[in-house]
Amino acid sequence: MRETGEAEFLPDDIGQGETIGVFVLNPDEAGALDDIDSFAFVDETGGTAGFDDGSYVFAQVDGETISAEVMHSACASLNQDLQQRALIGMSDRLGLTIVMEDGLFSGRDVNDVALSIERLAVDLA
């Protein structure tokens, strides 16, 4: 995040040996993500979450931990059902294709969310 409400991610921000992780968040309460000012992943004590917290990673919105299913792409151990819920691969146009499952403890078809991220060469002159 550059400034509050101004999300920006550039491929150049990724260093050698680093990875990108994406997630799908299904809040139990309708409107839980409306008009949010801050978002964070926290551990079971409300502290900053990390990979060592395993499946005890929770979503916090505006300082309150919300009840939600969270499906992480980074590794299966972050998901509450400990199952792989995403696949990430390179496309033939040097882009990324990410496919994800949108529910925990459900089927493993991994085709509910599909993202394609591609670098485009554009001449603006």
pLDDT tens, residue by residue, 32-91:
778 888 889 999 999 999 889 988 999 999 999 988 888 888 788 888 888 887 877 776
| Residue 124 resides in a domain | no
Is the pLDDT at 25 greater than 70? The verdict is yes
What lies within 8 Å, CB to CB, of 7 at 6+ separation is: 1
| Residue 71 resides in a domain | yes
At residue 115, φ and ψ (nearest 5 deg) are -120, 140
Domain count, the chain: 1
Neighbours of 120 (CB within 10 A): 6
Print the domain residue range for 27: 11-117
| Residue 15 resides in a domain | yes
| Residue 58 resides in a domain | yes
Distance CA 94, CA 69 (A): 31
Give the global pTM. 0.64
